[in-house]
Structure 1
Amino acid sequence: MVNVKGRWALITGASRGVGYQTAIFMAKQGCNLILHSRNLEHCIKVEDEVKALGVEAFSVQAELANHEEVAAMLDEIEAKNIPVDIVFNNAAVQIAYRTDYWQTPVEDFELSFRINFISIVTICNRLIPKMIERGFGRVINTTSGIKNEPEQAGYAASKAALDKFTKDLASRLEGTDVMINLTDPGWCRTDLGGPKAPNSVESVIPGIAVGAFVDDKKSGRYLGAQSFVGMTLEEAVAKAEAMEATPYTI
């Protein structure tokens, strides 16, 4: 199992919901954190909390729908000469629930893809090559289990694109100590999931983060967080490493 103490992790959407849970959990493991939100003020609380747990942390801001802001955020991180060893691409947006899905506006797809897919591609393409150079890295991309719901077509399609991108990259990272996997928090009571969701946001721990700790050089796994509820981190890692890794064939 990977020891993350003293390593640096970037968490997008860290100020609330699943991202907040991930930040607190990783800080408890001794991991230093780069906390992203659309506005720095949103991260004040979580930054104070993780620093109180004894780790280093700083916050960055970017509107993920804006490519220039994403690039500027990455420039800011690189200017600090901090090696980003772990990335949790958590932040996402669900635009609307379109009952008349035949009338889904093209803007739903455009915004969903900019935030849920293109921003993640930008982050991966900037940070993974440096992980390869250093010989270590973990990338965990957050997907969704939504299916058979054209009412959420923009969101679902953007996540399907992310799945494909992640699996394709996994095929090139197999056997290295740079690993990329998918996680799915399940339907949780968050701002995105809404109050009627069956799972508490706390239930994502430890499964949402287990991809940072697996250590068998296999990429392309789907690590559904609800499959690890009630487990210790050690138990979750053992279960994750027993799961089949299924990158697409080159």
Structure 2
Amino acid sequence: MINVNGRWALITGASRGVGYQIAIFMAKQGCNLILHSRSLEHTHAVLEEVKELGVNAYSVAAELSNPDEVRHMLEEIDALGVEVSLVFNDAGVQVAYRTEYFKTPVEDFTSSFMINTIAPAMICYHFLPKMIEKGFGRILNTTSGIQNEPQQAGYSASKAALDKYTKDLASVVEGTDVLINLTDPGWCRTSLGGPYAPNSVESVIPGIVVGAFVDDKRSGRLFNAQSFCDMSLEDAVKEAQE
């Protein structure tokens, strides 16, 4: 199992929901953090919380629907002078539920793809070559098990595209100590999942992060967080590597 103590991780969407759970858990493992949100104000509380756990941390801000802001954020991270060896592409958007789905506006697709597919791809393209050069890295792209929901076509299609992108890119690093995989938190009670979801947001731990700790040189997999619910991290890693 990988020891992340002293390493640096970027977490997008770290101010709430699943991203917040990732941030707190990784800080408890001694991992230094770069916390992303749309506004520095949004990550102020979690920034202070993880620092109190004894790790170093920074906040960065970017609207992921704007490629220029994503580029600026990546330049800002580079300027910090730290080596990012773990990336959690957790931030996402779920657009309106369209009961009249035959009238789904184009904007549902464009906004979903910009945030859920293109921004994560830009982040992967930025950090993956650096990880390959250093010989170590972990990237986890958050996907969704949503299916048969034409009412949410933009969201569903953007996550399917992220799946395809991740699996194709995984072929580049398969068999090395740079791993890129997918993780699915399941349907959780968050601002995105809504109040009627069957799973608490806390249930994503440790499954949502297990891909950062595996040490088996396998990429292109999907880790379903709910399959590891209530496990210790050590047991989750063992199961994930079977």
- 1:40 aligns to what SS in structure 2? coil
Structure 2 distance, partners of 1:144, 1:123, is 19
Do residues 143 (structure 1) and 146 (structure 2) align?
no
| Residue 27 (structure 1) shift | 0.2
In the alignment, what sits opposite 2:179? 179
| Residue 79 (structure 1) shift | 1.0
Do residues 221 (structure 1) and 214 (structure 2) align?
no
In the alignment, what sits opposite 1:192? 192
| Residue 42 (structure 1) shift | 0.5
Which AA in structure 2 matches 1:104?
A: T
| Residue 172 (structure 1) shift | 1.2
Do residues 133 (structure 1) and 156 (structure 2) align?
no
Which AA in structure 1 matches 2:60?
A: V
- 1:140 aligns to what SS in structure 2? strand
- 1:58 aligns to what SS in structure 2? strand
Structure 2 distance, partners of 1:138, 1:26, is 13
Residue pairs, 1:222-241, within 5 angstroms: 222-241=222-241
Which AA in structure 1 matches 2:67?
A: H
Residue pairs, 1:17-56, within 5 angstroms: 17-56=17-56
CA RMSD of aligned residues (A): 0.4
TM-score, normalising length: structure 1 = 0.96
Which AA in structure 2 matches 1:117?
A: T
| Residue 171 (structure 1) shift | 1.1
Structure 2 distance, partners of 1:39, 1:23, is 16
**CA deviation string 1:91-139 (max 9, x = no partner):** 0000110001100000000000000000001000011000000110000
| Residue 80 (structure 1) shift | 1.4
Structure 1 distance, partners of 2:230, 2:154, is 33
In the alignment, what sits opposite 2:77? 77
Which AA in structure 1 matches 2:16?
A: R
Structure 2 distance, partners of 1:78, 1:210, is 26
Structure 2 distance, partners of 1:33, 1:238, is 25
Structure 2 distance, partners of 1:163, 1:81, is 31
Identity of aligned residues (%): 71
In the alignment, what sits opposite 2:106? 106
Count the aligned residue pairs. 242
Structure 1 distance, partners of 2:95, 2:66, is 16
Structure 2 distance, partners of 1:89, 1:100, is 31
| Residue 38 (structure 1) shift | 0.1
Task: Extract unaligned runs of 5+ from structure 2.
Answer: none
Do residues 94 (structure 1) and 94 (structure 2) align?
yes
In the alignment, what sits opposite 1:58? 58
Structure 2 distance, partners of 1:11, 1:172, is 23
Instruction: After superposing the two structures, state which structure 1 stretch, 75-84 or 59-68, moved more.
Output: 75-84
- 2:241 aligns to what SS in structure 1? helix
Structure 2 distance, partners of 1:78, 1:177, is 22
Q: Which runs of 4+ in 1 moved over 6 A?
A: none
In the alignment, what sits opposite 1:121? 121
**CA deviation string 1:54-103 (max 9, x = no partner):** 00000000000000000000000001121110000000000110001100
- 1:147 aligns to what SS in structure 2? coil
TM-score, normalising length: structure 2 = 0.99
- 1:192 aligns to what SS in structure 2? coil
- 1:24 aligns to what SS in structure 2? helix
Do residues 201 (structure 1) and 210 (structure 2) align?
no
